[in-house]
Amino acid sequence: MEAKGLFNVARKEFIDHLTSRKFIIILGLFLIVSSIAVYQGVGDYNRELTQYKEQISQTKEVPVSWMPQKPSILLVFQRMSWQITMLGGILAIAMGFDLITREKESRSLKSLLSHPVFRDEVINGKALGGILALVFAAGIAIVISLAMLLLFSIVPTMDEFTRIIIFGTVTVLFLITYFAVALMMSTVSRDSGSSLIYALIILFALSFFMPTFANVVETSVVGEPPEFPGMHYVHIRSVNADKNESEAIISPPVTPVSEEEMKRYEEESNAYWEKRRAIHDAISVVVPNENFQAVTQVVLNPHFERFQYGVQYGEPPDAGEEKSLSEALGIVWKNILALVIFPLVFFAVAYVKFMRMDIR
């Protein structure tokens, strides 16, 4: 494969993206929302830092068995990751949905391919140009965030800085996933309108339908969670039938809870939630948003503890031991792998379709 053609196409596509109105508008929106998220994150960080300092001063006066955790500036980027999930996906789709259909509609594809350039250089160049533009977009967002931190006199440590870079890399992988979806749709669709609609359907299906679907599958496979022993019953008693008023009466424990019963319940409950989590993980590994969130949660929270559906009995979710970066990445390697494989699959479909496309 000649690199000259590839880089020529990539160069043109990169410039096209950066100068296109839709890219500038969505990127601008993306940066504004990210900056707001960072600003709010800095507020949260400063608040937690004040609390931390107060707790530290209290522990000097009254000895306690636990030490409070120092807040991390990574908190700032956790907020940002939520904005990226939705707006980033839209930005990536906006960049890719008409890459091929627009060429067909303007009939420039035939002109382009009549010059000495291989077809694979065209599709690969388009992909490369788009990826570079996404790297540029994510890079700007990260640089602005870091600049804002410095403006607030917050300097990240080396470990935090590395985690921010990894967050940026994962963000690019996430954006590339939806860019690849859009590029594929642009290759298989008849026109740009259809391509945009199909790409958005996939975005929304993966963002909203798949999590609901996962929940339904989990419940249908493992059923309801085991009942807590010695459960309290709640009776609803009508107190004024005319006005349709009623009151709730909570009964005392039906049966006394023995230690053995409690232990059995915990075992059953753990087994139940483990099974449920395994099903959830299996389904959500095909959802880019879930993979992105899984990785960013672990990378941006050194005290991350894998908890069950946000319910860690008796402990806050971030109360775990501090995890090194390699440990953190070890937890989410499947999600990272999925974020690499996903775009590759979509690119492969786009590539094959484009190579076989009838240019008439």
The residues of the shown chain that bind other proteins, judged by CB under 8 A, are: 2, 4-5, 8, 12, 16, 19-20, 106-118, 358-360
Closest distance to other proteins from the beta carbon of 88 (Å) = 24
Question: By C-beta, is 113 or 148 nearer to other proteins?
Answer: 113
**Contact predicate 323/305, CB 8 Å:** no
Question: By C-beta, is 7 or 152 nearer to other proteins?
Answer: 7
Question: By C-beta, is 22 or 53 nearer to other proteins?
Answer: 22
Closest distance to other proteins from the beta carbon of 137 (Å) = 19
The single-letter code of the amino acid at 56 is I
Number of C-beta neighbours around residue 147 at 10 A: 11
Question: By C-beta, is 237 or 356 nearer to other proteins?
Answer: 356
Question: By C-beta, is 243 or 356 nearer to other proteins?
Answer: 356
Closest distance to other proteins from the beta carbon of 109 (Å) = 8
Q: What share of the chain is helix, strand, coil (3-state, %, to 5)?
A: 70, 5, 25
Closest distance to other proteins from the beta carbon of 124 (Å) = 14
Q: Which residues contact 99 (CB under 8 A, 6 or more apart)?
A: 13, 126, 130, 182, 183, 186
Closest distance to other proteins from the beta carbon of 110 (Å) = 5
**Contact predicate 265/226, CB 8 Å:** yes
Length of the chain in terms of residues written = 360
Query: Residue 343: what are its φ and ψ, rounded to 5°?
Result: -60, -35
Query: Residue 139: what are its φ and ψ, rounded to 5°?
Result: -60, -45
Sign of CA pseudo-dihedral 145, 146, 152, 156: positive
Closest distance to other proteins from the beta carbon of 2 (Å) = 8
Q: Which residues contact 159 (CB under 8 A, 6 or more apart)?
A: 302, 325
CA distance 86 to 84: 5
For residue 156, is it left (φ>0), alpha (ψ between -120 and 50) or beta? Answer: beta
Closest distance to other proteins from the beta carbon of 330 (Å) = 46
Number of C-beta neighbours around residue 264 at 10 A: 13
Question: By C-beta, is 125 or 288 nearer to other proteins?
Answer: 125
Question: By C-beta, is 18 or 148 nearer to other proteins?
Answer: 18
Question: By C-beta, is 122 or 285 nearer to other proteins?
Answer: 122
Closest distance to other proteins from the beta carbon of 116 (Å) = 4
- In the three-class reduction of DSSP (H, G, I as helix; E, B as strand; rest coil), residue 342 is classed as helix
Among 220, 227, 187, CA closest to 356: 187
CA 212 to chain centre: 16
